[in-house]
Amino acid sequence: MFNHEVYKKSYGIKCCYIMDSFPPLFIFKPLFGNIIITTSPYFTDTHFGSHSADKWNEYVLKCVEFGKKHKASYLLLKIAQPDLIAGLDKNQFHVEHGFVKNILDISVGEDKLWGEIISGKTRNQIRKGLSNNPVIRFGREELLNDFYNIIAFTQTDLGTPVHSIKFFRNILAIHTDARLAVIYLDGVAVSAALILFADHTIYHPFAGTLNKFKHTCVNNVLYWEIIKLGIQNNCKIFDMGRSQKGSGNARYKKSWGGNEIQLFYAYCLKEGQSPPQYDTRVMHCLTSAWKHLPVILAKNIGHMFIRYIV
């Protein structure tokens, strides 16, 4: 989803186009450990387009050969199209099913969404958020510092490293239609999102609300404002992003009336390797420790770690 120049200018990540009309592959070279190759780093899934079965199989074969050539620990294809999974060689690929994304049809318009599709509970939460008199601003570089502070705090609270501000500055510079949304309460920036447009779809790949303001329901106001912005820009779909299957976050997104889409993360593993495991005791300990870092430190070192979590 992000232009390949974002990855190159932010982290020096190499991009390789291996077949016409198909997405490129990105090569990660950690200081320690083996090479990782993937599609759409830091994004939910990859749009592979519509191709014949033969063309798709040819692309997959070239991806596998590319991974072997670079002795990659693993090749990861992020897929949201079920028909593409059927064509994968089960002896070559291990497919993870732990994530879903939610897609909301906003082409029906604001009135129908409000009156017929969004749940009553969610509408009440939007009303509650609006009763706090939030100020909603859409912009670009002029909002970057406020946006980044919110993202840094919310990511740290979750125990997740945050990208560098340079990464987000590059997104704005290269994606000229990208927007930032920031919500203020009494002059304080409390909720924010990065917004992208592509193929009549509006995305918010990074968003967050400060924990101590979540009771005000401004996060619901943020979603509603993104939906309205998408409608104003003739978008048909709001891609609400990835969640763990069955999680509270997944249930929250369902309350907006969208359709849940299964994601397929297909790993072609080097012999002796396993897919990355994040639900382990070690990862829980690291996550817990990260939550206690001062945010100023998390901002300065987060990019050294998050750049390799693809």
Distance CA 172, CA 140 (A): 7
Whole-number percent of the chain with pLDDT over 90: 84
> What's the mean pLDDT when you consider all of the chain?
93
pLDDT of 280 reads: 80
pLDDT digits (tens, 9 = 90+) for 106-143: 999 999 999 999 999 999 999 999 999 999 999 999 99
- Residue 212 in tokens: 């101590």
Check if the beta carbon of residue 81 is closer than 8 Å to that of residue 48.
Answer: yes
Q: Do the domains spanning 4-100+262-306 and 101-259 agree at the CATH topology level?
A: yes
Both tokens assigned to 206:
């990074």
Q: Write down the pLDDT at residue 86.
A: 84
Q: What is the CATH number of domain 101-259?
A: 3.40.630.30
Instruction: Please state the separation of Cα 298 from the chain's center in Å.
Output: 20
d(CA 189, CA 32): 38
User: Which of 98, 128, 43, 113 has the alpha carbon at shortest distance from 250?
Assistant: 98
Tens digits of per-residue pLDDT, 132-175? Answer: 999 999 999 999 999 999 999 999 999 999 999 999 999 999 99
Question: For 277-302, how does the pLDDT look when each residue is reduced to its tens digit (9 = 90+)?
Answer: 777 888 889 889 999 999 999 999 99
pLDDT of residue 31: 62
pLDDT of residue 34: 79
- Range 91-110 average pLDDT: 95
Q: Write the CA distances from 209 to 155, 175, 277, integer angstroms.
A: 10, 24, 27
Check residue 307 and give its pLDDT. 87
Q: In 3D, which of 194, 214, 213, 212 has the Cα closest to residue 203?
A: 194
In angstroms, the CA 261 to CA 191 distance is 26
Tokens encoding 63:
């991806």
Buried b (16+ CB within 10 A) or exposed e, 218-232: bbbbbbbbbbebbbe
In the chain, where does DSSP find H-type helix? 4-11, 53-69, 82-85, 110-112, 120-131, 144-158, 165-174, 218-232, 248-254, 281-291, 295-301, 303-306
Q: So where are the chain's domains?
A: 4-100+262-306, 101-259
Banded model confidence at residue 32, pLDDT cuts 50, 70, 90: low
Tell which residue, 233, 4, 243, has the closest CA to residue 138: 233
CATH class of 4-100+262-306: alpha beta
Average pLDDT over residues 44-67: 93
For 171-188, give the DSSP string: HHHH-TT-EEEEEEETTE
pLDDT surpasses 90 at 87? no
**What are the tokens at 242?**
């990835």
pLDDT bucket at 77, cuts 50 / 70 / 90 = very high
pLDDT in tens, 233-284: 999 999 999 999 999 999 999 999 999 999 999 999 988 777 777 778 888 8
